[in-house]
Amino acid sequence: MRGKAYLIGAGPGRADLITVRGLNLLRQADVVIYDWLVAPLLLEQAAPAADLIFVGKSHDKHTLEQDAISDLIVSHVRAGRQVARLKGGDPSVFGHAGEEAMALAKAGLPFEIVPGVSSALAAPTYAGIPLTYRGISTAFAVVTGHETPGKVHSGTDWSALARIPTLVVLMGLQRVDTVCAALLAAGRLPETPAAIVSRATTSDQRVLRATLKTLPEALRHASLPTPAVLVIGEVVALSAQLDWFAPALAEVGFLPFDALSGRQA
């Protein structure tokens, strides 16, 4: 059989937030290559004979390591295997799916990208924060917190971002101070509601609510663990009424639906 790579979004943490297509392809794979943000319960869905290869402790990979991962995928596909490349959230949202697909394209090998539920969408949702809301927010942006002001060759325009109603910052927990300062310097109001959602969608989820001005100080007292997203905008205030998720009661990771047969497992 001809090899093929499937770059699959594993969803934001909770195992059953993977798509049905992603789960089916994971179950059929000969090789599963996965990152640190993939729910452990999902890996149990791989075929017993499948090879499971862990390729990363954090999102903060160096270029060389990323190239090595692309080479690994290419070599397995070339050898005729069905490769499930499992990535946290959506594979194209700060997930290097583009680079890996490019390596496969250059090698003339077939691939498919299976979208996933990004933490950029799921973390606000699980914290009761709607990204858009009539009369409050007509747009949102997702940005990496890595490219804070002062970083050489930063491609991020923080003054433009300060004018977007809802901002979601990924990989920003270490840089909450600089992100908030950049937005304040660009004219965003200090009383703008802001929140941090840590380990979203899992039974460990924690949400810290503050304002753009008070968030850095609030975080110093709360010390939330990674992974976490930062949400900034008036919509954050709506979570006072819309906070629906009770982590302690969640049956997280439960995969009750047998997607292959269409029956309850």
Supply angle C-alpha 252, 253, 254, rounded to 5. Answer: 95
Q: Is residue 113 classed as helix, strand or coil in its secondary structure?
A: strand
What minimum distance in Å lies between the beta carbon of 89 and ligand SAH? 2
**Residues 104, 109, 114, 170: which binds ligand SAH (CB under 6 A)?**
170
**Residues 70, 82, 118, 166: which binds ligand SAH (CB under 6 A)?**
118
Closer residue to ligand SAH in complex, CB, 81/173: 173
Whether the CB-CB separation of 89 and 119 falls below 8 Å is answered with yes
What minimum distance in Å lies between the beta carbon of 88 and ligand SAH? 5
**Residues 90, 104, 114, 164: which binds ligand SAH (CB under 6 A)?**
90
37 binds ligand SAH (CB under 6 A): yes
**Residues 29, 50, 86, 123: which binds ligand SAH (CB under 6 A)?**
123
- CB count in 10 Å sphere of residue 113: 19
Question: What CA dihedral angle connects 256, 39, 121 and 56, to 10 degrees?
Answer: -160
114 binds ligand SAH (CB under 6 A): no
Q: For residues 138 and 165, what is the distance between their CA atoms, to the nearest angstrom?
A: 7
What minimum distance in Å lies between the beta carbon of 1 and ligand SAH? 29
**Residues 5, 6, 12, 42: which binds ligand SAH (CB under 6 A)?**
12
From residue 221 to residue 240, what is the string marking binding to ligand SAH with x (rule CB under 6 A)? ------xxx-----------
Instruction: Please name which of 247, 210, 226 lies closest in space to residue 170, comparing C-alpha atoms.
Output: 226
Q: Is residue 84 classed as helix, strand or coil in its secondary structure?
A: strand
Q: Which residues are catalytic?
A: 35, 57
129 binds ligand SAH (CB under 6 A): no
Q: Name, in order, each residue with C-beta under 8 angstroms of 211's C-beta and a sequence gap of 6 or more.
A: 190, 191, 192, 193, 194
Q: For residues 113 and 115, what is the distance between their CA atoms, to the nearest angstrom?
A: 6
Residues forming the site for ligand SAH (CB under 6 A): 12-13, 37, 59, 87-90, 93-95, 118-120, 123, 170-171, 197, 199-201, 227-229
